[in-house]
Structure 1
Amino acid sequence: MSQPKTTLRPTHDVYVVDGEGDKAFWTKIGAAWQHPDGDGLNMTLHAVPLNGRIVIRSAKATETRNRKGRS
């Protein structure tokens, strides 16, 4: 069985978010790669949160937010 081709750069960033709205604190805890068929993700986590919620954002959305001065 051949291995599916994956990109070296993650397609998504994984965060734990604590709080709501403008007072939310985002901490990047990993990365994710979209499956070639678009029906799922593989994730690598560097931490597992005990509270808060896990949010997966496209890497493009994260780059856009960072350029606007938001984390």
Structure 2
Amino acid sequence: MSSKPTHRILQIEDRGEGKKAYWREVGVAFTNNDGSQNLVFSVIPMFGQHTVQLRKIEEKVEND
């Protein structure tokens, strides 16, 4: 397993017609040597239907 997370876990909350969805980071994922992933949640949605998305963490580039 990587010592640094490779992905963010995002919960996408639908706010209804005409309103922007709310994206909330709910954890991170670590990629194992065999390509599988361990998901580590800091919070877990409890009510309603939720979409969870795994997104690769992009390195931040600093401007000179």
Q: TM-score under structure 2 normalisation?
A: 0.70
Q: 1:45 aligns with which of 24, 32, 41?
A: 41
Deviations 1:15-67 (A, max 9, x none): 110128x81211001000112121x210110111134211110112xx57xxx
Residue 12 of structure 2: which of 10, 17, 37 is its match? 17
Relative contact order, CA 8 A, sep 6+: which one is greater? 2
The corresponding residue for 2:27 is 30
Which structure's CA Rg is the greater one?
A: 2
Unmatched runs of 5 consecutive residues or more in structure 2? none
Aligned residues: 55
Quote the RMSD (CA, aligned, Å).
2.2
User: What 5-or-longer segments of structure 1 have no aligned partner?
Assistant: 1-5, 65-71
Identity %: 25
Q: Which runs of 4+ in 1 moved over 2 A?
A: none
Q: Distance in 2 between matches of 1:27 and 1:54?
A: 9
Alignment partner, residue 56 of structure 2 = 58
Query: Distance in 1 between the 2:21 and 2:3 partners?
Result: 30
Structure having the higher strand fraction is: 2
